[in-house]
Amino acid sequence: MAQDDGAAQSAAKPTIITVFNQKGGVGKTTTSVNLAVCLAALGKRTVLVDLDSQSNATTNVGITQPISTGAYHLVTGKVPADECLKKTSYENLRLVGGSDELAWADIELALRPECQGVLTDALKTLPADIDAVVIDCPPAPGIVSVNALVAADMVVMPVMPSPHALDGLHKAWWNVNRVRSGYNHDLHSIFILLTMTEDGELTNRLSEDIIAEFGHRVMPVLVPRDNVVIEAAARDLPVVSMAPQSPPARAYLRLAELLVNRASHRGGTAGGINREQGAEALAVWAVEAEGRRSHLAIPEPGAMPDPGWTDAPELAQAALGGNAGWKVGAAIGLILLGAVLGFAAASAWFAFPPS
């Protein structure tokens, strides 16, 4: 009976997916957010944990700052996990939000014995009905990232096929394997996701090099470079809920399916999916997101600007008051005079340097 109870508890453990790369700008947060939303759309009760002090994953699912209790309190063990959870507008998805305090978490954790396992212990206090946890790491191999890797059942490493990103992949791969050999001996599911791909000789060659080196660990999914991803981020939306039929959105849904299937093979709780259900959920969320303006509030071409936007002549008038024209002209004249005098002084110095 005790063995049966232990097996049941093991089976009930959520699948923890850590998205990690110590190099920034490779699509790590975009992958974390869209993967989490896709898992939720597929019917998996999912928690997105934002461990990055920039908190972009938090705002990308529509949660505004500040976060009273969130990832900082979770990773430092100050508050149980269930008290850090925030509801989102996406069914089945809850958030443990990021905050500026996370920038100090590495220092606080470094002062503790066995500091690498704090997050693992904290995640044990999640509600029992959670199927999957997606962790967005900061772009640095610090103690917070180590905690996320120690807690992981799976690691997804986004990388764009570029020379510098490839160098970063090798360093990240070394760090992941160091954590695996030292602390997380059961971490065998380490995958590489090619992001921001595009047609081109260099990109194709680098992609082939990565596949040749890492083999089956490279996911059979390519996330293409597409401006729709930038537009979605500007609207604080995952691309899968703003444009579910776009190529990047379809790639992330496929990634979620593959990870769920692989989790089911390793005995996790994330097994069993309905792709049609996932596509339908994303389509519904896309309708709900229609009309949400970019938080940048940039006027569309030909559209009247929102209050607060001022045309250039009006801006000069507001800043300089009346007769702005001659003031601007005088300022430009002074700048040019300063440049001429500076050039003359430099020429004199080179011609007659001080002894």
**Per-residue pLDDT tens over the stretch 299-312:** 444 544 444 444 44
The strand pair at 86-87 and 93-96 is best described as antiparallel
**Residue 316 CB: number of other CB atoms within 10 A?**
15
Query: What mean pLDDT value characterizes the chain?
Result: 81
Question: How confident is the model at residue 313, as a pLDDT?
Answer: 45
> Which range (51-60, 165-174, 337-346) has the least confidence?
337-346
pLDDT at 274: 66
What order of strands is seen across the sheet that includes strand 189-197? 86-87, 93-96, 46-50, 132-136, 15-19, 154-159, 189-197, 218-224
Residue 212 has pLDDT above 50, yes or no: yes
What pLDDT score was predicted for residue 336? 62
> Which whole number is the average pLDDT over 95-103?
94
φ, ψ for residue 149 (rounded to 5)?
Answer: -75, -35
pLDDT at 308: 42
CATH number of 2-289: 3.40.50.300
- pLDDT at residue 83, rounded to an integer: 92
Model confidence band, residue 13 (pLDDT cutoffs 50, 70, 90): confident
Q: Over 50: is that where the pLDDT of 223 sits? A: yes
Can you tell me which residue has the tokens 């607060």? Answer: 308
Residues 6+ apart with CB under 8 A from 193: 27, 31, 156, 157, 158, 159, 219, 221, 223, 255
Residue 302: count of CB within 10 angstroms of its CB: 5
CA atoms within 13 A on the CB side of 171: 13
- Given this model, what pLDDT does residue 292 score? 63
At residue 182, the pLDDT reads 92
pTM metric for this prediction: 0.78
Write down the pLDDT at residue 267.
55
Overall average pLDDT of the 134-149 stretch: 93
